[in-house]
């Protein structure tokens, strides 16, 4: 019987380097997007002014990251198909 791989098994040996590095890039990108609206990064944007598009800055910040997330998900999708 083959040895059971130790630790985490993140990438199959069959995957090429290009798709591996793409996966790592997108993982980092989305991690940043998600944590941007939490402590401590969100501290940077925790103020009312300047108001942008009618929204207080706290709300605009969250809306901005929604857009950045969407740009990310669409780019990733176009890359694959």
Partner 1 sequence: MSSTFIVLGIVLAYLAIVMFMGIRAGLYGKKDDMNEFVAASGSLNGLTMYFLMGGAIFSAFAFLGGPGWAYSKGAASFYILAYCAAGLIPWMIWGVKAYRLGRRYNYITQAQLVSDRYNSKALSAIMAVVSILAFIQYIALQLKGMAYVLNVTTGGLIPFWLGALIAYTVVLVYVFTSGVRGVAWTNVLQGLLMLIMAWILGLWLPIKFHGGITQMFEKIAASDPAHLIIGEKISWATYSSGLLVSILGFTMWPHLFMKAFASKSEKTLKRTIALYPTFAIFMVPVLFIGFSGIGIVEYGTLESADQILPYMVTQLDLPAVLLGLVAAATLAAAMSSSDTITHGAASVYTVDFHKKIINPNINDKNAVKVTRAAVVVFCTVAYLIAIFGGQSLVALLLGAYGSIVQFLPIIAATFFWPRSTKHGVVAGLATGIVLNYYVTLSGFSFFGLHSGLVGLLGNTIVLIVVSSMTKPESTEHVMKFVEESQVPVDKEA
Contact 79, 22 (CB under 8 A): yes
CB of 6 to partner 1, least distance (A): 7
Q: Which of residues 30-59 bind partner 1 (CB under 8 A)?
A: 30, 33-34, 37-39, 42-43, 46-49, 51, 53-56, 58-59
Q: Check residue 70 for interaction with partner 1 (CB under 8 A).
A: yes
23-56 as b/e, with b when 16 or more CB fall inside 10 Å? eeeeeebeeebeebbeeeeeeebeeeeeeeeeee
Q: Using CB under 8 A, list all residues that contact partner 1.
A: 1-12, 14-15, 26, 30, 33-34, 37-39, 42-43, 46-49, 51, 53-56, 58-59, 62-63, 65-67, 69-70, 73-74, 76-77, 80-81
């Amino acid at each position: 019987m083959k040895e059971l791989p130790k630790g985490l098994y993140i990438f199959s040996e069959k995957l090429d380097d290009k798709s591996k590095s793409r996966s790592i890039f997108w993982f980092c990108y989305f991690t940043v997007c998600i944590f941007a609206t939490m402590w401590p990064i969100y501290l940077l944007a925790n103020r009312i002014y300047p108001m942008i598009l009618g929204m207080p800055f706290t709300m605009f910040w969250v809306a901005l990251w929604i857009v950045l997330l969407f740009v990310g998900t669409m780019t990733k999708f176009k890359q694959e198909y």
